[in-house]
Amino acid sequence: MLDDDLGVRLQKRFPRNGDSAFTLDVGFDVSAGFTILFGASGAGKTTLLDCVAGLQTPDDGSIAIGGTVLFDAQSRRNVPPNRRSVGYLLQSLALFPHMTAEQNIQYGLAALKNSEREARCREVLESFRIAALAQRRPGEISGGERQRVALARALVTRPRVLLLDEPLNALDAVTKARIVDDLRAWNNRHQIPILYVTHDREEVFTFADAVIVLESGRVVAQGLPHDVLSRPQSETVAQLAGFENIFECSAIGLHAEQGTMTCRINGSALQIEVPLTRVDPSQPLHVGIRAGDILLASVAPQGLSARNVLYGSINCLEQRDMTVIAKVDCGVEFEVHLTPGARQSLHLETGSKVWLVVKTYSCHVLQDRDRFSSD
């Protein structure tokens, strides 16, 4: 762990009535740059950020920035939120409605001398292009502008870590991208860890330096976005990486010399060839296939290297923007994406007989969470 990394190891239990108790149990380090915390709603993302900021107290574990301990269950150390130097952009932004943008931004600078305070405020107003709004109140500016004011307010205090809880959710893509660009530019100069919570997978691809995937209160994958997404090992990551087809399968034959194994998709007689993976044959496994990785043929294809050629009929066709989404019944339903041009030249209709072609290496074996965590 480097000097200014955020280190988090914590447990927090939420006893609920009856069977649905929830436990947040995570451990990870975050370095300077954008780390995206990805997970479905209810995975524990906001609770995790609240614990780092000091708004909620974990049951066990420790939280530190570099050598500064913010929370430690063993030594009973728990620094209150106002002494943590953690910038936290709440989902609701929580701008003070009775203050102007400038007053909001200067709120956290009470300890500074007037001249210093004004200089810092000017700098951040310019960094986030909101100098013109300085004298307006939150109720008088747009959503994107409020976003910028809230970011400026959090960053002007020079926090050692910045936490963002889905703050850009409500914004259109262009506004969002501009704000992220400005935030990136700011962080190129200041180099602090930024932990960014989202359940929007587009954001992961757009600007993550690292990804942490949270599933039911546990970290199921973490690392560089490319590494995490190219070899997904859990269902949440697979959804994150855009696997429209996820099947539960049983391994029925291992072919070590060919580097493949044969799996039967549960609930059907369909067999597919997938890359050889170290699995327990007695346990079901999941196979993910991207809809865009599947080839569609209107006549039986021949002379292919691809090991999986499946025969079926089109259940439905639907066009969304420039993508045609075909649902094909091959015993189980596959989702296939193709271009409108391909649809035309193959004369595809509902009910058309088609062949699906899937390369072995387009079939990704996803490991169960328990298996992954014990590795």
Partner 1 sequence: MITQALTLTLRLAVVVSVILLAIGLPLAYWLAFSRQRWKFFVEAVVSLPIVLPPTVLGFYVLVAIGPLSPVGRWYQALTGHSLAFTFEGLVVGSVFYSLPFAVQPMAASFSSVDRKLLDASALLGASAWRTFWRIVLPLGLPGVVTGFVLSFAHTLGEFGVVLMIGGNIPGATQTVSILIYDQVQALDYAAANRTALLLLALCFALLTILYGLRRRSAWNVWGWK
For Cα atoms 24, 26, 30, give the angle at the middle one, nearest 5 degrees: 135
Residue 80 contacts partner 1 per CB under 8 A: yes
Contact residue for partner 1 among 11, 78, 157, 271 (CB under 8 A):
157
The one-character DSSP state at 288 is E
Nearest distance from C-beta of residue 87 to partner 1, angstroms:
7
What is the rounded CA–CA span in Å between residue 193 and residue 187?
9
Residue 44, SS3 per DSSP: coil
**Between residues 140 and 172, which has the closer beta carbon with respect to partner 1?**
140
Nearest distance from C-beta of residue 51 to partner 1, angstroms:
13
Residue 256 contacts partner 1 per CB under 8 A: no
Contact residue for partner 1 among 40, 55, 171, 177 (CB under 8 A):
55
Residue 169 contacts partner 1 per CB under 8 A: no
Nearest distance from C-beta of residue 94 to partner 1, angstroms:
4
94-102, 206-214, 291-299, 352-360 -> range binding partner 1 (CB under 8 A): 94-102
Residue 11 contacts partner 1 per CB under 8 A: no
**Between residues 88 and 243, which has the closer beta carbon with respect to partner 1?**
88
Cβ atoms of 317 and 349 closer than 8 Å = yes
92-100, 179-187, 282-290, 359-367 -> range binding partner 1 (CB under 8 A): 92-100
Strand partners, 264: 250, 271
Contact residue for partner 1 among 96, 292, 339, 370 (CB under 8 A):
96
What is the rounded CA–CA span in Å between residue 355 and residue 330?
9
Residue 113 contacts partner 1 per CB under 8 A: no
Residue 170 contacts partner 1 per CB under 8 A: no
What is the rounded CA–CA span in Å between residue 305 and residue 149?
56
Contact residue for partner 1 among 41, 74, 75, 82 (CB under 8 A):
82
Number of residues that bind partner 1 (CB under 8 A): 29
Cβ atoms of 174 and 143 closer than 8 Å = no
Residues 80-114, buried b or exposed e (16+ Cβ, 10 A)?
eeeebebbbbbeebebeeeebbbebbbebbeeeee
Residue 88 contacts partner 1 per CB under 8 A: yes
**Between residues 111 and 322, which has the closer beta carbon with respect to partner 1?**
111
Residue 299 contacts partner 1 per CB under 8 A: no
What DSSP line would sit under 303-348, residue for residue? S-S-SEEEEEEEEEEEEETTEEEEEEESSSEEEEEE-HHHHHHTT-
**Between residues 20 and 82, which has the closer beta carbon with respect to partner 1?**
82
Contact residue for partner 1 among 94, 119, 132, 170 (CB under 8 A):
94
Residue 81 contacts partner 1 per CB under 8 A: yes
Nearest by Cα to 88 from 16, 160, 185: 160
**Between residues 67 and 97, which has the closer beta carbon with respect to partner 1?**
97
Contact residue for partner 1 among 16, 76, 83, 189 (CB under 8 A):
83
Cβ atoms of 86 and 92 closer than 8 Å = no
What is the rounded CA–CA span in Å between residue 156 and residue 134?
14
Which residue has 């990136």 as its token pair?
184
Count other C-beta atoms under 10 Å from residue 196's C-beta: 25
Interstrand relation of 161-165 and 86-89 (parallel, antiparallel or unpaired):
parallel
| Residue 345 in tokens | 């030249």
Residue 110 contacts partner 1 per CB under 8 A: yes
What is the rounded CA–CA span in Å between residue 330 and residue 245?
13
Nearest distance from C-beta of residue 171 to partner 1, angstroms:
18
Cβ atoms of 266 and 248 closer than 8 Å = yes
**Between residues 39 and 108, which has the closer beta carbon with respect to partner 1?**
108
Q: Give the footprint of partner 1 on this chain (CB under 8 A).
A: 53-55, 80-84, 86-88, 90, 92, 94-98, 107-108, 110-111, 137-140, 153-154, 157
